[in-house]
C-alpha cells in the first residue's frame, strides 16, 4: 500500500484509495479509433488524465500521480498566475500575428535579452518541430549550401526537414534508411555505451564529424550547418564529453557552416546550473531553437539568431506563421518567464535535482540493474543494464519498472534507442518531498525483482 512508501502528496491523497487502478480502456479505444496519431502507449492501460496541479496529475477517478516525465509543463500544472494572464489576454485580444500589438515586441525583446549578445532576432512559431524546420531553412538561405550535420539518435521534430535530421531509431525505425542525401549523421558522443567512454573522449568522437566534413569538402558541396542538442537528450540527459561542441563548432565554422543549438528540451533553466544547455559546453551557437517549456503546455516555439542570418531568409525565402507569436502566445511566454524568475525555478531545478540525483546514486549502490545515473538539474536519466560490464540494455525490466511505478503513483516512460532509460524531466517546481517519493517508489519497483 501507499503507506509503505513515504508521506508525500501522492501517498497522502491516495491513502484512502486501496482499490486497483481504474480501467480507462473504453476511452482509450475511442482515442485509438479516431485520433490519427500513431502514438506508442508504453503502459498496457494508460491512466486517463483529467486534471493537473503543480507536479501532480489526477485521473478520471481522482487518483493522483507524480508527473516525472513532463518537460512541457515547466512551471507545473494549472499555474494560477498563468491562467489569469491568459484569461485576461483572451478577453482583450487574440488574433493573427500579422497585426502589431505590444506583447510581441515585449516578448521578442525579452528573448533577445536572454540570448547571448548578438543573437537579437526572434522568429515566433508554435512548436519545436517548426522552430527546427525554420532553422534549417535559415542555414540553407544564409550559406547557400544544403548539407546539414546532425547527431545520430537525436530527435528534432516531425516536419519534413526536422524529421530528416532526426535519426532516433526508437522514434522512427526507418530513420537511417529514408534519410535525404543532404543529411549527414555523426556518431553521437555517448560516453557511457558508445565506442569511446568517459568525459574526456571528445577528440575521439570529433574524428567522425571532421571525416564527414572532409567528405563534403571533397565533393565540393559545402556545409550549411550542424544541429545538436547541447546534452544528449535521448540517452537521458547525458552530458556531452568536455569540449565536444567547441571542437564541432570550430570545424563547422571553418567551412562556413552555422551552428544550431536545439534547446527545446534542455533550455529555460531545466539544467539548474545554466539557463541554456550550450553554456554547459562553453559555446555560443549561431541559432537557438526553443519550444516546450517556454509555453508551459501552450503551443509556442522560437528561433533566436543574428540579424544578418534572419535577414537572409527575407532575401531567399518566406516566413509567416498565422498563430506563431499571437497575443495570447506572447503573454504566455512573458508570464512563464516572470514566474520562472519570481519562483526561482531554475534554482529549484538545481537544488532538488541534486537531491534527486543523490538519492538515485544511492539506489545504484544497492541495485546492479542501475548501470548509471546521467544528467544534471531536473533533466536526469536512469539507465538499466544486465551487467555493468556487458551493458546489455535491460529493456523488458525497464517496461516492468514503469508499470510498477504507475501502480505506485508515478508517471514515467522508457526512452533511448534501447528503451532502457528512465528520462526524468518533471516540472521545475518539483518539491523535495516529491523527489524523495520518487526515489522510494523506484526502490520499491526494483525490490520486487524480475
Q: Are 382 and 360 in contact (CB under 8 A)?
A: yes
Q: Which is nearer to ligand PLP, 132 or 326 (CB)?
A: 132
Residue 275 beta carbon to ligand PLP: minimum distance, rounded to whole angstroms: 16
Q: Which is nearer to ligand PLP, 264 or 345 (CB)?
A: 264
Residue 413 beta carbon to ligand PLP: minimum distance, rounded to whole angstroms: 12
Those residues whose C-beta lies under 8 Å from the C-beta of residue 279, and which sit 6 or more positions away, are: none
Bridge partners (DSSP) of residue 226 are 149, 259
Q: Which is nearer to ligand PLP, 293 or 409 (CB)?
A: 293
Residue 311 beta carbon to ligand PLP: minimum distance, rounded to whole angstroms: 25
Residue 98 beta carbon to ligand PLP: minimum distance, rounded to whole angstroms: 23
The whole-angstrom separation of Cα 112 and Cα 92 is: 26
Residue 52 beta carbon to ligand PLP: minimum distance, rounded to whole angstroms: 18
Residue 230 beta carbon to ligand PLP: minimum distance, rounded to whole angstroms: 10
Question: Which three cell numbers, joined as nine digits, stand for 351?
Answer: 537544488
Residue 86 beta carbon to ligand PLP: minimum distance, rounded to whole angstroms: 19
Residue 162 beta carbon to ligand PLP: minimum distance, rounded to whole angstroms: 7
Q: Which is nearer to ligand PLP, 46 or 128 (CB)?
A: 128
Q: What b/e string do you get for 116-145 counting C-beta neighbours within 10 Å, with b at 16 or more?
A: eeebbbbbbbbbbbbbbbbbbbbbbbbbeb
Q: Are 24 and 50 in contact (CB under 8 A)?
A: no
Closest residue by beta carbon to ligand PLP = 128
Q: DSSP letter at 296? A: T
Question: Which three cell numbers, joined as nine digits, stand for 438?
Answer: 520518487
Q: Which is nearer to ligand PLP, 128 or 327 (CB)?
A: 128
The whole-angstrom separation of Cα 2 and Cα 7 is: 8
The whole-angstrom separation of Cα 80 and Cα 27 is: 29
Bridge partners (DSSP) of residue 302 are 124, 290
CB-side neighbour CA atoms (13 Å) of 158: 5
Q: Which is nearer to ligand PLP, 229 or 397 (CB)?
A: 229
The whole-angstrom separation of Cα 41 and Cα 33 is: 14
Q: What b/e string do you get for 167-185 counting C-beta neighbours within 10 Å, with b at 16 or more?
A: bbebbeeebeeebeebbbb
Q: Which is nearer to ligand PLP, 156 or 298 (CB)?
A: 156
Q: Which helix (H) or strand (E) holds 374?
A: strand 370-376
Three-state SS string across 69-103, please?
CCCCCCCCECCHHHHHHHHHHHHHCCCCCCCCCHH
Residue 434 beta carbon to ligand PLP: minimum distance, rounded to whole angstroms: 23
The whole-angstrom separation of Cα 178 and Cα 32 is: 27
Residue 168 beta carbon to ligand PLP: minimum distance, rounded to whole angstroms: 9
Q: Which helix (H) or strand (E) holds 424?
A: strand 421-424
Q: Which is nearer to ligand PLP, 132 or 413 (CB)?
A: 132
Q: Which residues bind ligand PLP (CB under 6 A)?
A: 127-129, 132, 155-157, 229, 233, 262, 264-265, 291-292
DSSP string covering 31-84: HHHH--------SSS---EEEEEBTEEEETT--EEEE-S-SS-TT-BT-HHHHH
Q: Which is nearer to ligand PLP, 127 or 143 (CB)?
A: 127
Cα–chain-centroid distance for residue 300?
14
Q: Which is nearer to ligand PLP, 52 or 233 (CB)?
A: 233
DSSP string covering 218-263: HHT--EEEEEE-SEEGGGTSEEPPTTHHHHHHHHHHHTT-EEEEE-
Q: Which is nearer to ligand PLP, 163 or 383 (CB)?
A: 163
Residue 229 beta carbon to ligand PLP: minimum distance, rounded to whole angstroms: 5
Residue 42 beta carbon to ligand PLP: minimum distance, rounded to whole angstroms: 15
Amino acid at each position: 500500500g501507499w503507506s509503505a512508501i513515504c508521506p508525500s502528496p501522492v501517498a497522502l491523497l491516495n491513502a484512502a484509495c486501496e482499490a486497483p487502478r481504474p480501467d480507462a480502456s473504453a476511452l482509450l479505444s475511442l482515442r485509438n479509433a479516431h485520433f490519427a496519431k500513431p502514438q506508442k502507449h508504453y503502459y498496457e492501460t494508460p491512466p486517463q488524465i483529467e486534471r493537473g496541479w503543480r507536479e501532480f496529475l489526477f485521473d478520471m477517478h481522482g487518483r493522483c500521480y507524480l508527473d516525472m516525465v513532463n518537460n512541457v509543463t515547466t512551471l507545473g500544472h494549472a499555474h494560477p498566475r498563468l491562467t489569469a494572464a491568459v484569461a485576461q489576454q483572451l478577453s482583450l485580444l487574440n488574433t493573427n500575428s500579422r497585426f502589431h500589438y505590444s506583447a510581441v515586441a515585449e516578448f521578442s525583446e525579452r528573448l533577445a535579452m536572454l540570448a547571448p549578445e548578438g543573437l537579437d532576432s526572434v522568429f515566433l512559431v508554435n512548436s519545436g518541430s517548426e522552430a527546427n524546420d525554420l532553422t534549417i531553412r535559415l542555414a540553407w538561405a544564409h550559406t547557400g549550401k544544403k548539407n546539414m550535420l546532425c547527431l545520430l539518435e537525436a530527435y528534432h521534430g516531425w516536419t519534413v526537414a526536422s524529421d530528416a535530421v532526426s535519426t532516433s531509431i526508437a522514434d522512427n525505425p526507418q530513420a537511417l534508411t529514408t534519410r535525404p542525401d543532404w543529411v549527414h549523421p555523426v556518431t553521437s558522443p555517448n560516453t557511457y555505451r558508445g565506442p569511446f567512454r568517459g568525459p574526456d573522449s571528445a577528440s575521439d568522437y570529433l574524428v567522425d564529424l571532421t571525416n564527414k566534413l572532409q567528405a563534403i569538402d571533397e565533393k565540393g558541396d559545402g556545409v550549411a550547418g550542424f544541429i545538436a542538442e547541447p546534452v544528449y537528450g535521448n540517452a537521458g540527459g547525458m552530458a556531452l564529453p568536455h569540449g565536444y561542441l567547441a571542437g564541432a563548432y570550430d570545424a563547422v565554422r571553418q567551412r562556413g557552416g552555422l551552428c544550431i543549438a536545439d534547446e527545446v528540451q534542455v533550455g529555460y533553466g531545466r539544467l539548474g546550473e545554466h539557463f541554456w544547455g550550450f553554456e554547459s559546453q562553453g559555446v555560443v551557437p549561431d541559432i537557438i531553437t526553443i519550444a516546450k517549456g517556454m509555453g508551459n503546455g501552450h503551443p509556442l516555439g522560437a528561433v533566436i539568431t543574428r540579424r544578418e542570418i534572419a535577414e537572409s531568409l527575407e532575401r531567399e525565402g518566406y516566413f509567416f506563421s498565422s498563430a506563431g507569436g499571437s497575443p495570447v502566445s506572447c503573454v504566455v511566454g512573458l508570464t512563464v518567464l516572470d514566474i520562472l524568475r519570481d519562483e526561482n525555478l531554475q534554482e529549484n531545478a538545481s537544488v532538488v535535482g541534486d537531491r534527486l540525483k543523490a538519492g538515485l546514486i544511492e539506489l545504484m549502490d544497492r541495485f546492479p540493474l542501475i548501470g548509471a545515473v546521467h544528467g544534471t538539474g531536473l533533466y536526469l536519466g536512469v539507465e538499466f543494464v544486465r551487467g555493468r560490464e556487458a551493458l546489455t540494455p535491460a529493456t523488458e525490466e525497464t517496461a516492468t519498472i514503469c508499470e510498477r511505478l504507475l501502480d505506485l503513483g508515478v508517471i514515467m516512460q522508457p526512452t533511448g534507442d534501447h528503451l532502457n532509460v528512465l528520462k526524468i524531466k518533471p516540472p521545475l517546481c518539483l518539491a523535495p518531498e516529491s523527489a524523495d517519493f520518487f526515489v522510494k517508489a523506484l526502490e520499491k519497483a526494483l525490490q520486487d525483482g524480475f
